[in-house]
């Protein structure tokens, strides 16, 4: 089972759209950032229309933004 650590999340102004980033280590030892974007169904508060994308750790760390800083702090633990 993969190890997953939440790094960052962004809630859109309408509170129904959310983006989340996770640091994932799969059973084979490979590490990557999983980006998930989804819309919450207001009638059930369950996610729908989810989009997932795997991003290389180096790609995220090359950026100079809040996500990169949070990832660095998680990797230092």
Under a CB-based contact definition with an 8 Å cutoff, are residues 25 and 31 in contact? yes
Under a CB-based contact definition with an 8 Å cutoff, are residues 48 and 40 in contact? yes
Distance CA 70, CA 15 (A): 22
How many domains, in total, are found in the chain? 1
* Backbone phi and psi for residue 73, each to the nearest 5 degrees, phi listed first: -65, -35
Average pLDDT over residues 68-77: 92
State residue 53's pLDDT score: 96
pLDDT in tens, 16-30: 889 999 999 999 999
Task: Output 33 or 2, whichever has higher pLDDT.
Answer: 33
Look up the domain containing 47 and give its range: 3-76
State residue 45's pLDDT score: 67
The tokens describing 72, both together, are: 């660095």
Q: In what order do the strands lie in the sheet with 46-55?
A: 3-11, 17-25, 31-41, 46-55
pLDDT in tens, 39-58: 887 777 677 778 999 999 99
Residues found in the chain: 77
pTM, two decimals, is: 0.83
């Amino acid at each position: 089972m993969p190890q997953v650590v939440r790094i960052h999340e962004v809630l859109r102004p309408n509170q129904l759209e959310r983006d989340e980033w996770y640091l994932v280590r799969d059973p084979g030892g490979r590490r990557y950032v999983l980006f998930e974007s989804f819309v919450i169904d207001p009638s059930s508060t369950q996610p729908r229309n989810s989009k997932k994308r795997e991003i290389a750790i180096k790609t995220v760390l090359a950026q100079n933004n809040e996500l990169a800083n949070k990832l660095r702090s998680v990797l230092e633990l």
